């Protein structure tokens, strides 16, 4: 089976410094894949290369079977992109924004009108079709970006921090849309700084396979797998120990030491063996714990 997305020994240099360093991974058709990393890890540069905005310095990148350097036009036709920044013209109406995008992709009528209606209905903006974009809420603008990215029926959807700055209710609604698109067979690559977002979107649900998570740091892929695979590799049980506390009322003096164990049972056994359990607790590990353990710092 041909990979939907393939990176093979990819490098990107800026001033002879490797921002992306020997990156290799593949995404299967219909898979949802989350690419995580601290700021400066190289994930934004990776997305720019995958979407033909930046050429790799070395290595091979294929999207939907097309080489992004040798066949950029075919690659572009196969992808939809939802950027973190609002990228819809605020002075156009919702309908005009979709109409412009459809014309740029040379979608002929009456198919263009049918697809515009279909996707505006899907993202629940059909009743706002005549509204000027700048009057929409942040969540509505993001849903319009998704509808626009889907208009030309791409095989692969790239989502760059799609819910940043949105309220919890709007985030959840976008999660449902993203999950439903993946359930329909859409291949997706997602970047985000929200660990709960990754756990929700890449978790096992209904009959779908769980998505995979790639963690980058220093331009390299340092871990790859499903959430369960990452937890099995790094430890499913966690003992948290409060250390460095001299003043119980000084929160800034408090920090936690994390000890990973293969299972929650093993973590409990360790805790029970400690003569002094003050400031210690046991809980299951989560994605954020693993991320911090691997990168040594929180996401900015």
User: Which domains are delineated in the chain?
Assistant: 5-226 (3.40.50.300), 236-284 (no CATH)
pLDDT of residue 259: 92
pLDDT of residue 252: 54
How is the chain split among helix, strand and coil, in percent rounded to 5? 35, 30, 35
Look at the pTM and tell me if it is higher than 0.85.
yes
d(CA 31, CA 4): 9
Q: For the chain, how far is it from start to end, CA to CA, in angstroms?
A: 37
Among residues 138, 99, 142, 135, which one has the least CA distance to residue 117? Answer: 99
Q: Which two tokens stand for residue 300?
A: 């900015």
Among residues 216, 203, 199, 163, which one has the least CA distance to residue 38? Answer: 216
d(CA 81, CA 28): 18
pLDDT of residue 39: 85
pLDDT of residue 108: 95
Mean pLDDT by 10 residues, the chain (300 residues): 92 94 96 93 92 95 96 95 87 96 94 96 95 94 94 94 88 92 94 92 75 94 94 94 67 76 95 92 94 73
DSSP β-bridge partners for residue 58: 11
CB 201 within 8 Å of CB 175: yes
DSSP 209: P
pLDDT of residue 300: 46
CB 267 within 8 Å of CB 237: yes
CB 61 within 8 Å of CB 50: yes
CA distances from 255 to 248, 250, 300 (A): 12, 11, 18
* Helix intervals (H) in the chain: 43-50, 72-77, 94-104, 111-122, 138-150, 168-183, 195-201, 227-234, 264-272, 287-295
Q: How many CB atoms lie within 10 A of CB 173?
A: 18
d(CA 240, CA 228): 20
pLDDT of residue 52: 94
Among residues 40, 73, 55, which one has the least CA distance to residue 10? Answer: 55
d(CA 49, CA 10): 10
């Amino acid at each position: 089976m041909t990979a939907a997305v393939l990176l093979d020994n990819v490098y990107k240099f800026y001033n002879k410094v490797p921002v992306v360093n020997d990156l290799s991974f593949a995404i299967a058709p219909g898979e949802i894949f989350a690419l995580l990393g601290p700021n400066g890890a190289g994930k934004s540069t990776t997305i720019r290369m995958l979407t033909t905005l930046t050429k790799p310095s070395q290595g091979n990148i294929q999207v939907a079977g097309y080489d992004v350097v040798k066949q950029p036009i075919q690659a572009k036709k196969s992808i939809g992109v939802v950027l973190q920044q609002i990228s819809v013209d605020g002075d156009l109406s919702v309908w005009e924004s979709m109409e412009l995008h459809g014309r740029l992709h040379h979608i002929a009528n009456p198919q263009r009108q049918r697809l515009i209606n279909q996707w505006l209905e899907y993202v629940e903006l059909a009743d706002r079709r005549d509204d000027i974009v700048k009057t929409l809420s942040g969540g509505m603008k993001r849903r319009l970006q998704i509808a626009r990215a889907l208009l030309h029926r791409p095989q692969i959807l790239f989502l760059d921090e799609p819910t940043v700055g949105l309220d919890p209710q709007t985030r959840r609604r976008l999660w449902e849309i993203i999950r439903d698109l993946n359930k329909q067979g859409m291949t997706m690559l997602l970047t985000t700084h929200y660990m709960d977002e990754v756990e929700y979107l890449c978790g096992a649900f209904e009959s779908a396979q769980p998505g995979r998570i790639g963690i980058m740091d220093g331009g390299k892929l340092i871990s790859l797998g499903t959430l369960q695979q990452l937890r099995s590799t790094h430890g499913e049980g966690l003992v948290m120990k409060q250390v460095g506390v001299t003043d119980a009322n000084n929160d800034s003096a408090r920090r936690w030491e994390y000890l990973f164990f293969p299972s929650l049972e093993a973590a409990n056994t360790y805790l029970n063996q400690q003569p002094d359990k003050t400031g210690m607790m046991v809980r299951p590990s989560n994605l954020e714990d693993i991320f911090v353990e691997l990168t040594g710092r929180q996401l900015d």
